[in-house]
Structure 1
Amino acid sequence: MRFTPITTHEVEKRSNTEVLFSIHTGTHIDSPYHFFSEGKTIEQLPLDIFIGPALLVDLREVAKPNHEITLGELREVGGLTEELVQGKRLVLWGDWASKHWNSKKLYESNPYLSQEAATWLRDAGVVAVGLDFAVDGAPPYPNHPILLGSEIPLIENLVNLEAIQAREFMLIALPLPIVGGDGSPARVVARIDD
């Protein structure tokens, strides 16, 4: 990420800064266009995908380096059923990004979903998938097309998930409406109602 001053308080009596970074830096959302040339770009996705009922799925027990998280583990460790996930935004918590932020381990030895698990999430009617670890292991990145191909956006590099003290909550993950964007930086919050 690079910051370049356009104006400064010292000279122009106001501050304005140009920022240069990849859309897929930090906490961000992948749109279908990230993997599909005819896929929807970020501003074409309806905002209600990014705001709504969500489920925190604690996978810390199995989210180990280079581990493929299976459908069985999503069901057994995460407690997921089709009825539970249908129409929800899932937040998969492996406690990975918080531990490996600014480290090569974030992507080089990350846990990831099996193709069977990604396909099951798609077929079960999940609205969006958020994670604090990469959805895929090594190239060719099969899970991105499985989910993005069904217009299920990926909310990646989530942090501070330990602060969510409820299994069910309201997710608010707002992307910038970048015209033609294959994704967007995002500010993601959880609202927990008593």
Structure 2
Amino acid sequence: MNTRLSLLAAACVLALAACGNDTTPADNATPAATPSDTAPADTTPTDTAAGTPATTPTTPGSDAGTSATPAATPAGSDKPAATVDNCSTVIEGNDAMQFNVGSITVPSSCSEFTITLNHTGQMPVVAMGHNVVVSKASDREAIAAAGMGAGVDGDYVPADDARVIAHTELVGGGGTTSVTFPVSAIQGSGPYEFFCSFPGHWAVMRGSIQVG
């Protein structure tokens, strides 16, 4: 009897010990992560210019390979063309140191051509004389420089100068003069110009002459 009671008591002790060591799985589980803790960080860049990409200002005419050098202005380009009739034309020069035309086109059907100059001013030849000289454009300045030595009496044109294709005499206000020359003389390698060789006039009183 005593032996049974002892065994029963021992069994109860073991059972109580086992119950004391039992743990709830929930007590040892790792707490669930909060969604906000594990969400990936927002890596989208913030627009700093309202979504508009930066652009580099473009200067007009700054394209690569574009030359900034302007084209040369043709002689007399601001004046009208001369009226040509029957292989001749009449042009005017005034006291304001100007021709009234900027170009002369000689018809290719003409074998000779005549230019008549009317001085519409009033100043004397020594002060505001005008003439018409025809030459290559590249020879104009040199002819005018050499012509200074000829003076008024020599029409400010160098004598026997092969660069001079044709020239009129020098006239003052109210005067008229003319010159006729072969059209073949201005059909070579140009360009060709007509100009006044009076000192200082040759730089502004000029225009183009060509066969058309």
Larger RCO, structure (CA 8 Å, separation 6 or more)? 1
Larger radius of gyration: 2
TM-score by structure 2 length?
A: 0.22
